[in-house]
């Protein structure tokens, strides 16, 4: 034994050296691959780890073990999120959609599609008594979707700008959806999950290390991502300081992103809804409003917006010549009219009140029932409405053509001069300038000043956390248009009452979205509006039922219609009480008040008090 030990030891050393060299060689071979292929390998590995975790869920019937493995599977899934959400949005949506029936409306009739994915399983696992057959079926759906995704991965042709886009999308998704609990509504497992997203971004960014001309810039990325991830570690969901996280960890990543685009000499092939120069998600320079316009819209200009502004206040465009856009959207009332329900051209009440036009450019649908896709079509609807402009597109064109001044301006700004489409586009281009982003909250979270009170900061953290407001009113616009693509605007069934009572209430008779396609699950569904400037846009809800923010928050705190005696099988707002204290309610209101813009300093509104508008 003594004789052979050195030989065995030497053999073990040689074997260890061989394994080490083989590992190094494999790593070097991997590094020789193009970066997109390295990303694809990493993504496939992340998918495989997710599959293994999901497969383990199929192997147990024990409730505690099942929940524990579910958390592990969610963390593995979050590793795949940056790439899957960007390159395979349909697969990501299928795996991570809310546990709400999907209603397809259109020419082929109404079709209800049951939801699937992790959120469905989460709600099943949150039940006191588990239905294992249903859970197994849902887990099997997740497994099949992941298998299909793994079998069809192809990101080898991606470019540097694709990677930068997915990075920025990830920052927006974390900020707007991740830390709000949007995709972990029952267990509120959001903070460790989004820590995993940041760690995943570190892995993918490491593959791009060779791209950096400025090596210190790469090091700064690693430091910022690591610190961001660590700030989410062992945090309580209800008390987590989301304000500081966004300000101190998300926004600095945007600054690094901008510098990296320059360092890599990336030329982006086209503009996106988020501006490439943005270093904060809460600034007037954050959004490229032109990308929310229809494809035929010409490039925005001050001249077109000025023309649209004049048309906006021109009563001659209505059939009776007594109503303009500003009749229902008055600048001094923050582009509302301050009425529970707006007045028709005969002085009688319309069916709904007028929502603010501020930030209406940053949504994918218009009207409370989301019946049109853009501002141009919204204007057409008003023009044709018998109770509003009571006109038509031909008369609109004739009215504008009768003015030599208008004709000259249209001829100078539009190739085909005066057309009904160009008239509507000019007005819409003016409305698209109404995105001030200069509120006290915007200035503070963008690190331009430090004046928020403790109550206002607490209110934001509650809004985005315990109170669940941010899961429908998505930051940074705080409306229902879902980041980071901003291509879909959500509607919700809240159970809004006819009268401002908080017991034995009766549902408001307006059926909302149901009126368009008669989809039963869309009965009483209305678009989620922005809460920006709510301190100036009372009364609230589509029917103006509430006069104060205290009443609005009380309604939500009680669980919407369900909490005040209205029984709706299709209510999408969680029916449980939020359990907010009086101080927490006060803090939330103080936060919403901090979202009030100073519209008198906005270039588009600077002369709103002139005789032109009265």
Tokens (6 digits) for 228 = 């961001």
In angstroms, rounded to a whole number, what is the distance separating the alpha carbons of residues 206 and 42?
11
Mutual angle of helices 63-87 and 89-96, in 10-degree steps: 160
Q: Write the class of the CATH domain 440-597.
A: mainly alpha
Closest CA to 293 of 371, 381, 414, 374: 374
| Domain 440-597 in the same topology as domain 290-436 | yes
Average pLDDT, the chain: 93
Answer yes or no: are the C-beta atoms of 353 and 342 closer than 8 Å. Answer: yes
Answer yes or no: are the C-beta atoms of 102 and 113 closer than 8 Å. Answer: yes
Mutual angle of helices 251-263 and 160-176, in 10-degree steps: 170
Answer yes or no: are the C-beta atoms of 287 and 435 closer than 8 Å. Answer: yes
Report the DSSP pairing between strands 111-113 and 491-493. Answer: unpaired
450, exposed or middle or buried, with CB in 10 Å at 0-12, 13-18, 19+?
A: exposed
CA–CA distance from 144 to each of 54, 70, 72, 140, 204 (Å)? Answer: 10, 16, 18, 6, 25
In angstroms, rounded to a whole number, what is the distance separating the alpha carbons of residues 296 and 307?
18
Report the DSSP pairing between strands 491-493 and 525-527. Answer: antiparallel
Domain ranges of the chain: 32-158, 159-269, 290-436, 440-597
End-to-end CA separation in angstroms for the chain: 106
Answer yes or no: are the C-beta atoms of 540 and 546 closer than 8 Å. Answer: yes
Give tens-digit pLDDT for 560-604.
Answer: 999 999 999 999 999 999 999 999 999 999 999 999 999 887 655
Phi and psi (nearest 5°) for 3?
-70, -40
In angstroms, rounded to a whole number, what is the distance separating the alpha carbons of residues 479 and 97?
19
In angstroms, rounded to a whole number, what is the distance separating the alpha carbons of residues 300 and 314?
21
Give tens-digit pLDDT for 90-147.
Answer: 999 999 999 999 999 987 889 999 999 999 999 999 999 999 999 999 999 999 999 9
Report the DSSP pairing between strands 525-527 and 102-104. Answer: unpaired
Phi and psi (nearest 5°) for 246?
-65, -50
66, exposed or middle or buried, with CB in 10 Å at 0-12, 13-18, 19+?
A: buried
Closest CA to 337 of 324, 321, 318, 319: 324
pLDDT of residue 600: 83
Give tens-digit pLDDT for 1-41.
Answer: 343 434 434 444 554 555 454 445 545 555 679 999 999 99
Q: What is the residue-wise DSSP string for 217-283? A: HHHHHHHHHHHHHHHTTT--TTT--HHHHIIIIIHHHHHHHHHHHHHTT---SS--SB-TT-S-SSS
Give the Cβ contact number of residue 295 at 10 Å: 4
pLDDT of residue 51: 98
In angstroms, rounded to a whole number, what is the distance separating the alpha carbons of residues 71 and 151?
24
Answer yes or no: are the C-beta atoms of 376 and 425 closer than 8 Å. Answer: yes
Answer yes or no: are the C-beta atoms of 537 and 336 closer than 8 Å. Answer: yes
User: pTM of the entire structure?
Assistant: 0.93
pLDDT of residue 10: 46
In angstroms, rounded to a whole number, what is the distance separating the alpha carbons of residues 424 and 426?
5
In angstroms, rounded to a whole number, what is the distance separating the alpha carbons of residues 363 and 37?
36
Q: Chain centroid to CA 132: how far? A: 34
Answer yes or no: are the C-beta atoms of 44 and 53 closer than 8 Å. Answer: no
Cis peptide bond N-terminal to 484, omega within 30: yes
pLDDT of residue 29: 55
Mutual angle of helices 132-151 and 35-57, in 10-degree steps: 160
What is the CATH topology of the domain spanning 290-436?
Answer: Cytochrome Bc1 Complex; Chain D, domain 2 (1.10.760)
Residues with pLDDT less than 50, the chain: 1-12, 15, 19, 21-23, 26, 606-614
Let me know the angle formed at the C-alpha of 134 by 130 and 139, rounded to the nearest 5 degrees: 100
């Amino acid at each position: 034994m003594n004789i052979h030990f050195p030989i065995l030891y030497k053999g073990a050393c040689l074997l260890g050296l061989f394994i080490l060299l083989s590992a190094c060689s494999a790593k070097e071979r991997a590094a020789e691959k193009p970066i997109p292929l390295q990303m694809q390998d990493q993504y496939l590995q992340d998918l495989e780890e997710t599959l293994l975790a999901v497969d383990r869920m199929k192997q147990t019937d024990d409730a505690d073990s099942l929940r524990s493995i579910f958390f592990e599977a969610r963390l593995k899934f979050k590793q795949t999120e940056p790439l899957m959400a960007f390159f395979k949005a349909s697969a990501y949506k299928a795996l991570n959609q809310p546990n709400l029936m999907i209603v397809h409306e259109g020419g082929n009739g109404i079709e209800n599609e049951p939801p699937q994915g992790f959120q469905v399983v989460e709600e099943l696992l949150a039940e006191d008594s588990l239905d294992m057959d249903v859970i197994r079926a849902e887990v099997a759906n997740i497994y099949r979707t992941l298998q299909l995704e793994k079998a069809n991965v192809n990101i080898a042709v991606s470019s540097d700008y694709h990677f930068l886009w997915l990075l920025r999308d990830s920052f927006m998704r974390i900020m707007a959806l991740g830390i709000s609990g949007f995709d972990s509504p029952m267990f509120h497992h959001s903070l460790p999950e989004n820590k995993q997203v940041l760690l995943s971004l570190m892995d993918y960014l490491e593959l791009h290390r060779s791209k950096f001309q400025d090596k210190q810039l790469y090091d700064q990325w690693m430091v910022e991502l690591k610190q961001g991830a660590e700030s989410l570690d062992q945090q309580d969901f209800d008390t987590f300081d989301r304000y500081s996280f966004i300000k101190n960890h998300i926004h600095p990543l945007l600054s690094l992103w901008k510098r990296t685009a320059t360092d890599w000499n990336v030329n982006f092939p086209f503009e996106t809804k988020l501006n490439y120069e943005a270093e904060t998600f809460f600034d007037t320079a954050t959004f490229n409003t032109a990308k929310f316009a229809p494809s035929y819209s010409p490039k925005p200009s001050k001249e077109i917006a000025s023309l649209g502004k004049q048309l906006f206040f021109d009563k001659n465009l209505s059939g009776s010549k007594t109503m303009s856009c500003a009749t229902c959207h008055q600048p001094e009332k923050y582009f509302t009219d301050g009425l529970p329900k707006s007045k028709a051209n005969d002085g009688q009440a319309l069916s709904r009140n007028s929502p603010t036009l501020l930030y209406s450019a940053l949504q994918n649908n218009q009207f409370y029932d989301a019946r049109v896709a853009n501002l141009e079509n919204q204007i057409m609807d008003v023009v044709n409405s018998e109770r509003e402009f009571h006109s038509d597109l031909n008369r609109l064109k004739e009215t504008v053509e009768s003015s030599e001044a208008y004709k000259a301006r249209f001829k100078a700004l539009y190739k085909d001069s005066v057309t009904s489409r160009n008239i509507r586009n000019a007005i819409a281009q003016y409305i698209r300038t109404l995105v001030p982003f200069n509120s006290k909250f915007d200035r503070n979270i963008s690190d331009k000043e430090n004046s928020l009170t403790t109550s206002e900061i607490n209110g934001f953290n509650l809004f985005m956390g315990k109170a669940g407001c941010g899961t429908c009113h998505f930051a940074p616009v705080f409306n229902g248009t879902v980041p980071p693509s901003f291509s879909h605007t959500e509607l919700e069934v809240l159970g809004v009452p006819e009268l401002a009572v908080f017991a034995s209430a009766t549902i408001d008779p307006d059926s909302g979205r149901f009126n368009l396609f008669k989809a039963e699950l869309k009965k009483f569904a209305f678009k989620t509006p922005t809460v920006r400037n709510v301190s100036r846009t009372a009364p609230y809800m589509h029917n103006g039922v509430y006069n104060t923010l205290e009443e609005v928050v009380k309604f939500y705190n009680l669980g919407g219609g369900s909490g005040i005696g209205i029984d709706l099988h299709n209510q999408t707002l969680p029916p449980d009480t939020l359990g907010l204290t009086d101080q927490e309610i006060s803090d939330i209101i103080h936060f919403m008040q901090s979202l009030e813009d100073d519209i008198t300093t906005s270039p588009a509104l600077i002369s709103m008090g002139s005789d032109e508008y009265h």
